Structure 1
Amino acid sequence: MDHVAPTSARAVESVVAGAPQRAGSFRFWFEGQRWEWSDEVAAVYGYAPGSTQPSTELLLAHKHPDDRALVARSIDAAVCAGEPFCGRHRVIDTSGRTHHVIVVADRMLDDRGLVVGTRGYLIDLSGALEENRQEVLDRTLPELVASRAVIEQAKGVLMVVYGINAEQAFRVLQWRSQETNVKLRTLAQRLVTEIPALGGGPASQRARFDHLLLTMHGDVVAAE
């Protein structure tokens, strides 16, 4: 076996954290179906910052033909039921490139606590991790095995919930770690711990899971 120089968990995570950001935020008001998107989301669709105003019609026009009807139904269901718009689908950008994305969202409330829309993130799962970063993960020292185990568990949960592969699931965890400045293994532990408390049917479980993924870092930061 090749010798591996001593490496701390923080060092491993700092190497992994160097991967490019592939997530952007959006807001969707149910009344009037008004959208806002960040420059990162606009870029996924192939638009320069501020060059176009997003709309339901524009977004649907960029969906893969096989996914368009499903996304349209998801938007209609969100408006009618006052639930977050979320899901996994494909986006075809202005250059004709296909992006595999997932939408992780939560309810958006007004000052009175009434649901007025949904806000969240669109995560581009296209592409692959650079080989050297994946190699670092694959060759960590024995003292990191426990951390690796909980990260693998969290990845498994994400794979089931979002229907994505292991590498894409790691991207989601990595994104939340970067976004919240919380250690990846700490977020993974929190996610795994909270999963048994999620109840209800598949639709409500997905909404609860999205909420957990977007808010669990608050308890983690408070505890630290």
Structure 2
Amino acid sequence: MSESAVPECREDPLADLPESVDPQVAGGFTLWFADRRWEWSPQVYRLHGYEPGAVEPSTELVLAHNHPDDRDLVAQLIERALTDREPFSGRHRIVDTDGCEHTVLVVANRILDADGEPVGTSGCYIDLTDTIDAAGQAAVSEVVPEIVEARAVIEQAKGILMRMYGISAEQAFKVLSWRSQETNTKLRAIAAQLIADLPQVPPPRPDVLTVFDHLLLTGHERVQPGKD
């Protein structure tokens, strides 16, 4: 990863999966938009059946390992990521070098450069193969939109923090994570409550940050029981 580029966020991609699903993170990846260059972690190499570094990951290699019925879908996801500079995320099947089929969920976010421009997408493969049956796979399919929605809420809350405190996206996420960990409240709930409380912030004046500080530090108290 280049020194001038920072991940847009590093939240736990598994935090919003159903409790009935017990996925395994199979490793991380990065796709750089400018030169369409892929980077795989050792685990992702092994997921595809290779020793780390044995091949150079590429879009062609990624598509070659997709299940034939899923290949067009993944090609569209990758092209959308490269064209619209959106995260490469979705659920599909891959076939490793031994011919074994794996059902994977790819959860990712954008990488921003120092100017806030998207330069890549980075995330992880979640191997669902050994942990869910057909019914479980249906449950995961249903929850994927919820994951996307949850990430959008977190991004909104990060934007608020960035604006109010004049901090970076990464720093804003660290603030949200801190409140989540300190209060044992889900990150999504903290973010949603912060957004809900925003109308309480008065028009800009010297004491606005004092009010905002109070909302940030007490938001967990207003999260409804059982709200994720």
- Check whether the contact 2:63–2:71 (CA below 8 A) recurs between aligned residues: yes
User: What CA distance in whole angstroms lies between the structure 2 residues aligned with 1:218 and 1:123?
Assistant: 25
Aligned partner of 1:135 in structure 2 is none
Aligned partner of 2:150 in structure 1 is 209
Matches within 5 A, 1:109-188: 109-128=112-131, 162-163=140-141
Compute the displacement of 1:210 (Å). 4.7
Aligned partner of 1:71 in structure 2 is 74
Aligned partner of 1:87 in structure 2 is 90
User: What CA distance in whole angstroms lies between the structure 2 residues aligned with 1:83 and 1:161?
Assistant: 25
- Check whether the contact 2:111–2:119 (CA below 8 A) recurs between aligned residues: yes
Distance 1:123 1:210, change over 3 A: farther
User: Are 2:58 and 1:55 equivalent residues in the alignment?
Assistant: yes
The count of residues paired between Structure 1 and Structure 2 equals: 141
User: What CA distance in whole angstroms lies between the structure 2 residues aligned with 1:41 and 1:211?
Assistant: 26
Determine which structure has the larger helix proportion and give its number.
1
- Check whether the contact 2:106–2:126 (CA below 8 A) recurs between aligned residues: yes
Aligned partner of 1:220 in structure 2 is 180
Where structure 2 has 5 or more consecutive residues not aligned to the other structure, the ranges are 1-21, 156-172, 185-228
User: What CA distance in whole angstroms lies between the structure 1 residues aligned with 2:109 and 2:179?
Assistant: 17
Paired AA for residue 54 in structure 2: S
TM-score with structure 2 length normalisation? 0.53
Greater C-alpha Rg: 2
Matches within 5 A, 1:15-34: 21-34=24-37
User: What CA distance in whole angstroms lies between the structure 2 residues aligned with 1:217 and 1:23?
Assistant: 23
1:66 match: secondary structure: coil
Provide, for residues 15-60 of structure 1, a one-character-per-residue CA deviation record: whole Å limited to 9, x for no partner. Answer: xxxx995421111111121110101111110011121110000000
1:85 match: secondary structure: coil
Paired AA for residue 95 in structure 1: D
Superposition RMSD on alpha carbons, in Å? 3.3
Indicate which of 29, 38, 42 corresponds to 2:41: 38
User: What CA distance in whole angstroms lies between the structure 2 residues aligned with 1:213 and 1:123?
Assistant: 21
Moved over 2 A (4+): 19-23, 158-162, 203-219, 221-224
Compute the displacement of 1:159 (Å). 7.1
Identical amino acids, percent of aligned pairs: 44
- Check whether the contact 1:74–1:85 (CA below 8 A) recurs between aligned residues: yes
User: Are 2:104 and 1:101 equivalent residues in the alignment?
Assistant: yes
User: What CA distance in whole angstroms lies between the structure 1 residues aligned with 2:41 and 2:66?
Assistant: 18
User: What CA distance in whole angstroms lies between the structure 1 residues aligned with 2:178 and 2:139?
Assistant: 22
TM-score with structure 1 length normalisation? 0.54
